[in-house]
Chain A
């Protein structure tokens, strides 16, 4: 009897609701901005800025504490860029790759770890910035710009030769690639993070306690993997633009 009562009670009680597709709009001129994405993005950016300031405020010769951690992160990013772009060219691209990685990583983990739902918005809810397609498209387009810039600055107009390099038959596919690259980058990241948050949200809706934990753990894992994948792919695209399909690459390997 009591059991039944509690179940009824359970139903009457407004559980966490899912708000997909609802956004906290800001109107600037004719533009509608997704305010919740900006808020969390600013939070993430502020976090990263704070971290870099804290890490570099009192630089020791032998790193300890936070400086050590950030140097470790920097080393990780540098190795990632070096592995993808190559010893000779990687150095100028470390800031770009590192910014991508850190922003995506911190965004994903903030979405997965911070109790954003404590703060209620008039509409929509706070979540990882990367679970909004606009953020990931912006990042992916920046990557496109970066690899075009890399190609043109390294090889000038000769960059276009890569479109007909193996055979001119592949020209349409080569052109198509420039569109599919940002598309796949942005959709992969957006899809993974949104799906992860949705799965967790749905599970929380169904079983509020303990059951979502494994999924949340998995979410942390995939979030980190997605950050690595995004930055690795960006670095790989830059490397491809720098080297082309030409003989240089074969000489190196």
Chain B
């Protein structure tokens, strides 16, 4: 009770002071009863006490979550970069392989073309040779034939001539001459 009394007394004094300040202009009033200071202090205290725990936990959770998300994202970025490098390496390898295969293929194609060309040239040569040979034999054969025919014709004509114009006299004369020729020679 006495404490209450002194408190009220204090308050009254402060009130009087405030009253002095009233009546015009600005002023400060620190009367804890009039200005509700005690209750406000308690309310703010309770708010800070409970709010700090709750808010602190929430904010920490949020921070941790963000941190984890950033770490995760960074890790994924690193993984992706590594994968990219690996794949790029593979790509380079594959390109080198492709280039190698292509040059090989070109070389073999060139070789094959050369071989084919050479073979066909040879073939042409051979065919030309055989054709020339053919022509020659044919010519020879025809010439032979012609010769034969000419001989046959000549013989025939000669026989005919002989048959028609070879009289007995002439025969004898021929024989004589032949004998003479034989004799003359020896």
* Residues of A that sit less than 8 Å from B by CB: 2-3, 6, 9-10, 13-16, 61-64, 68-69, 71-72, 112-115, 117-122, 200, 204, 208-210, 212-213, 216-217, 220
Name B79-119 residues within 8 Å CB distance of A: none
* A213 with B66: CB separation less than 8 A: no
Contacts of A216 in B (CB 8 A): 39-40, 43
* A213 with B42: CB separation less than 8 A: yes
* B36 with A63: CB separation less than 8 A: no
* A120 with B18: CB separation less than 8 A: yes
Distance of B55 from chain A, by nearest CB (Å): 7
Which of A118, A122, A212 is in CB contact (< 8 Å) with B28?
A: A118
Contacts of A220 in B (CB 8 A): 43, 47
Closest to B27 in A: A120
Interface of A (DSSP majority class):
helix
* B19 with A212: CB separation less than 8 A: no
* B43 with A209: CB separation less than 8 A: no
Give the 8 A-B residue pairs with the shortest CB-CB distance, closest first: A117-B35, A16-B34, A120-B27, A208-B33, A68-B59, A204-B36, A216-B43, A13-B12
Distance of B7 from chain A, by nearest CB (Å): 9
Interface of B (DSSP majority class):
helix
In the assembled complex, 14 residue pairs joining A and B whose CB atoms fall closer than 8 Å, in A order, are: A13-B11, A16-B36, A71-B62, A113-B44, A115-B36, A117-B36, A120-B28, A121-B26, A122-B26, A204-B33, A209-B39, A210-B42, A213-B43, A216-B40
Assess whether B181 is interfacial by the CB under 8 Å rule: no
* B33 with A117: CB separation less than 8 A: no
* A120 with B21: CB separation less than 8 A: yes
With A6-B8, A63-B66, A113-B43: A69-B55 Cβ-Cβ less than 8 Å: yes
* A63 with B63: CB separation less than 8 A: yes
Interface size class, chain B: 35 or more
| Binary contact track B14-28/A, C-beta < 8 Å → 1, others 0 | 010011011011111
Closest to A10 in B: B8
Contacts of A117 in B (CB 8 A): 29, 34-36
* B33 with A115: CB separation less than 8 A: no
Closest to A24 in B: B26
Contacts of B33 in A (CB 8 A): 15-16, 204, 208-209
With A72-B62, A117-B29: A15-B34 Cβ-Cβ less than 8 Å: yes
Distance of B34 from chain A, by nearest CB (Å): 4
Which of A64, A120, A122, A213 is in CB contact (< 8 Å) with B39?
A: A213
| Binary contact track B29-66/A, C-beta < 8 Å → 1, others 0 | 11001111111101110110000000100110011001
Contacts of B39 in A (CB 8 A): 204, 208-210, 212-213, 216
Assess whether B182 is interfacial by the CB under 8 Å rule: no
Contacts of A208 in B (CB 8 A): 33, 36, 38-39
Once bound together, how far apart are the Cα atoms of A113 and B45, in whole Å?
Answer: 10
Distance of B82 from chain A, by nearest CB (Å): 22
Once bound together, how far apart are the Cα atoms of A14 and B12, in whole Å?
Answer: 8
